[in-house]
Amino acid sequence: MNKKGFTLIELLASLVILGILSTIAVSSVLSVIERSRKELYVEDAKKFASQIEYNVRANKYKLQKPTNGNCIAVSLKYIDSSDFKKAPGGGKYDLTSSFVVLKNQNYEDKYYIRLVERLKNTSVRGISIANLDDLKKSKGADKVTSLNGAEGKDLFIVDDSVGSKAKILALLPANTCNNLTVYYE
């Protein structure tokens, strides 16, 4: 008798192997998608900082470059935010909690960015606070995180109040700014 074909054990073994391979492939694809989403946050943060840099140089929106040792904080709401309508997570950027701090340090510009997205499921995600130079490095996407826990407990509306200024300064490295001017609406 001539036996052609596969036994039940061989078929089951093939299915198990295919299942393992598909699980690995799906998890790899999901991690690539997540990484590219984080990189979009970083690109938006860089774009936000570039807009502030351009607006300060062009004296647009009456933004004044800070003097040596001082800082300005500019909320996303203050500038033309049409480039920031679509956030990577499918939610919307929080225009009042996202900001850039520009510090004039020995006549060299230093940028710190906070970019907050409010997702549809009421969670919050983005960049808590990061130096632009750190975001430009290859590990910049590692700065993107969920802001629901300790990182986000201090989401606040950026304005010219003493409390808002204190919260901005608390997010920055110690002794970053001698004086802080806030542009928010």
**pLDDT in 10s for each residue of the chain, 185 residues:** 556 788 899 999 999 999 999 999 999 998 888 888 899 999 999 999 999 999 888 888 788 899 999 999 999 988 888 888 889 988 999 988 999 999 998 889 999 999 999 988 888 999 989 999 989 887 888 888 888 765 555 678 888 888 889 889 988 888 889 999 998 87
Alpha carbons 152 and 173: distance in angstroms, whole number? 17
Task: Count structural domains, the chain.
Answer: 1
Domain of 68 in residue numbering reads as 40-183
Inter-residue contact 63 to 183 (CB < 8 Å): yes
Alpha carbons 143 and 140: distance in angstroms, whole number? 6
Say if 59 falls within a structural domain: yes
Long-range contacts of 157-164 (CB under 8 A, 24+ apart): 157/96, 157/97, 157/184, 158/73, 158/75, 158/77, 158/96, 158/97, 158/99, 158/182, 158/184, 159/184, 159/185, 160/184
CA distances from 26 to 30, 34, 61, 126, 162 (A): 6, 12, 47, 25, 49
Say if 9 falls within a structural domain: no
Say if 144 falls within a structural domain: yes
List the structure tokens of 61. Answer: 């929106």
What single-letter DSSP state applies at residue 8? H
Say if 86 falls within a structural domain: yes
Say if 28 falls within a structural domain: no
Say if 29 falls within a structural domain: no
Name the region of 178 (left: φ>0; alpha: ψ -120 to 50; beta: rest): alpha
Chain centroid to Cα 99, Å, comes to 11
Say if 18 falls within a structural domain: no
pTM value is 0.82
